[in-house]
A and B are shown apart, each in its own frame.
Chain A
Amino acid sequence: MTQKNAKFKKNVYFVLFCVLTVFCWCPIGYGTYGPANRIFGMPDWAVITFIISIVFFILQWIYLFHTDLAIKDNELEEIFHQLSDLNRK
């Protein structure tokens, strides 16, 4: 994966995560004041919130463990080596 491609992917994930964060922090756009319809005994906006948060969780899992965008253990040694070189300087 080229550096440009990786940066683009990272930005896409970042924007997506920010949008989903807003939905997890506020039922804006899918929750209204007053009586709500119920699904599985719960208000519909609560069910939608749970679905959004589960989708968000899965996307984060993919980002952290199934892409090359997050740090991995086999890279740590090199990173620490470079940082310790800097420490010595």
Chain B
Amino acid sequence: MFSVAIITCICLVSVVVSYIAFRRGFTRNADDYFVAGSSLGYFVLIFSLLASFLSAFSQFGMSSLGYRTGFGSIFVLTVNLVPLGFLWYFIHKKTFLLGRSRKWMSMGAPFGERYGNSMRVLVPIVVFIASIFYIVAQVQGIGLMLEAMSNEVISYHVGVFFIPLFIAVYLIMGGMKGAAWVNTIQGLFFSFMVILLFFVVMSQQGGFIPTMDAVYAKHPELFELGQKGGKVWSLPMIFGFAAAMSLGCVCFPQPYMHAYSSRTAKGLKAMFLSFGGICIIIITMPILVGIASTILVPGLSGVEADKVYGLIASEVLSEPLAALVVAGGFTAAMSTVNGMVFGNAMNMANDLYKLAKPDMLPREQIAVARVCVLVILIISIVIAWDPKTPVAELSVVAFGMVSVTLFPLLGAYFWKRATAFGAISATVIGAGLNVYFVLKGGSSMILMPQPAFFNLNGFLFAFIVTGIVFLVGCLITKPGTVEKESLPLFFHPSLSK
């Protein structure tokens, strides 16, 4: 039960850190609670953004994917994220500058000012629907790992219920600053643990190259592109995964939250650049651990393979160290839940509730966000109660869906001709297609190349359709009053650098 004690300690430390943020007055007004008073330095920003994205998926899911499918997994969440340095900077530079200037505190704010209130309402709803998949994936990972670590003494359902409760407590107390501090501590912890596990696993077979040689002798298919007659890691499949994950990262609430919270331009740039660089190390390692595990803990498949990270840790490390390593995976899952839940609560309080009640007091606004935190976590627990889909696939669906907001965002910042009609129709049709594909064909329809879609996967097909709808929708309508009035702000010469 050493492992359970460690998890409990991590939860308590997180609550204490958040309590300190609360006691030091970092949640007194709306600006402090939602965007940490735009005061976060680059070290906290880097690790907070990293931890808010890297999750159960990055360790449990990616080691599972590496275990099941091999080296092609590096295109899902490692090398494909390096372009985010420039993608985030080019797109969210305006989020940072305009957000600081206009006191934005939510994702809907730029869409609302550029296209009007319909988009301000629509975007948080689409992001929430997409985020729920991702949050559920983290909660599932938490439940599975706790069950594996405790040798099934603690059931999946107990883990799924209690850990989100701790998360709710520290998010409700600490606001953005508390969440960022907790994320940073959790991010540093799980990064260190990933590195530790990687080196120990590789040392079991005499080093990295001998380990890969041993894997290659037994499973040469893990080193191939186009496995199983071109069905696994075909070029269209790789491109679909890579683009979905990267573009989803641009559109999730975390970059908005962190851009609003950044104190300096240097911090903003360092945060965006570091993310991809750190991912190459911190996520490649679980993939390689998963690949090495095919010879150390053979015979796992499907949802069972999601436990490989914990099982290999138990196989190669002493019990206390194994518990710490798996606890690292836990903290990763928790920090992502922090970021996603807080981001969505921020959107609901600032975009949906404030729109319905524009004259509400800051204290009321914070109270609404706190209630939203609780409600989102309860919904996640209910959905995660019955796990049916492997964690990795579930998360990619989320990234694919949220990326439909990319075209309206690009239009808002870079195309004067963009209209509310184009933005609304693109978002509704893009999100609708993703939901339809999931309902009709499950996650495989979103992820795997479909002959009916010119061999693109459902995500890419929906993404391209969204782009076309946006373009056509904007061209057949004329910018209205809101769009015209927003132009001097969104295209101000000072933003052009």
> How many B residues touch A, CB cutoff 8 Å?
56
Closest A residue to B272 using CB positions: A64
Q: B225: which of A45, A53, A63 is its contact (CB, 8 Å)? A: A45
Closest B residue to A51 using CB positions: B79
A12, CB-defined interface residue at 8 Å: no
Chain B residues whose CB sits within 8 angstroms of the CB of A84 once the complex forms: 101
Expressed in whole angstroms, the Cα–Cα distance for A79 and B209 within the complex equals 52
Closest B residue to A34 using CB positions: B224
B257, CB-defined interface residue at 8 Å: no
In the complex the two chains form, is B494's CB within 8 Å of A36's CB? no
Please tell me which stretch of B45-53, B80-88, B356-364 contacts chain A, meaning at least 4 of its Cβ atoms lie within 8 angstroms of it: B80-88
Chain B residues whose CB sits within 8 angstroms of the CB of A21 once the complex forms: 83, 86-87
Binary interface encoding of chain A residues 17-51 relative to chain B, with 1 for a CB under 8 A from any of its CBs, else 0: 10011001111100111111010111101100110
- Answer whether A83 and B101 are a contact pair too, CB < 8 Å, given A25-B238, A75-B497: yes
Please tell me which stretch of B3-11, B118-126, B239-247 contacts chain A, meaning at least 4 of its Cβ atoms lie within 8 angstroms of it: B239-247
B277, CB-defined interface residue at 8 Å: yes
Segment 228-254 of B: residues with Cβ below 8 Å from A:
230, 234-235, 238-239, 242-243, 246
Shortest distance from the beta carbon of B399 to any chain A beta carbon, whole Å: 13
How extensive is the interface on chain A, given as a class?
A: 35 or more
**17 additional contacts, CB 8 Å, given A25-B242, A25-B246, A83-B102?**
A25-B80, A27-B225, A27-B235, A27-B238, A28-B235, A40-B209, A41-B209, A41-B212, A42-B71, A46-B71, A50-B79, A60-B276, A69-B497, A71-B93, A71-B97, A75-B497, A80-B101
Closest A residue to B288 using CB positions: A42
Segment 56-79 of A: residues with Cβ below 8 Å from B:
56-57, 60-61, 63-65, 69-73, 75-76, 78-79
Closest A residue to B237 using CB positions: A26
A87, CB-defined interface residue at 8 Å: yes
Shortest distance from the beta carbon of B363 to any chain A beta carbon, whole Å: 25
A82, CB-defined interface residue at 8 Å: yes
B298, CB-defined interface residue at 8 Å: no
Chain A residues whose CB sits within 8 angstroms of the CB of B218 once the complex forms: none
Please tell me which stretch of B26-34, B261-269, B446-454 contacts chain A, meaning at least 4 of its Cβ atoms lie within 8 angstroms of it: B261-269
In the complex the two chains form, is B489's CB within 8 Å of A83's CB? yes
In the complex the two chains form, is B238's CB within 8 Å of A57's CB? no
Shortest distance from the beta carbon of B285 to any chain A beta carbon, whole Å: 13
B24, CB-defined interface residue at 8 Å: no
Chain B residues whose CB sits within 8 angstroms of the CB of A46 once the complex forms: 71, 74
Segment 466-494 of B: residues with Cβ below 8 Å from A:
488-489, 492-494
In the complex the two chains form, is B83's CB within 8 Å of A25's CB? yes
B417, CB-defined interface residue at 8 Å: no
Chain A residues whose CB sits within 8 angstroms of the CB of B224 once the complex forms: 33-36, 43
- Answer whether A57 and B273 are a contact pair too, CB < 8 Å, given A17-B83, A71-B265, A76-B265: yes
Expressed in whole angstroms, the Cα–Cα distance for A24 and B277 within the complex equals 13
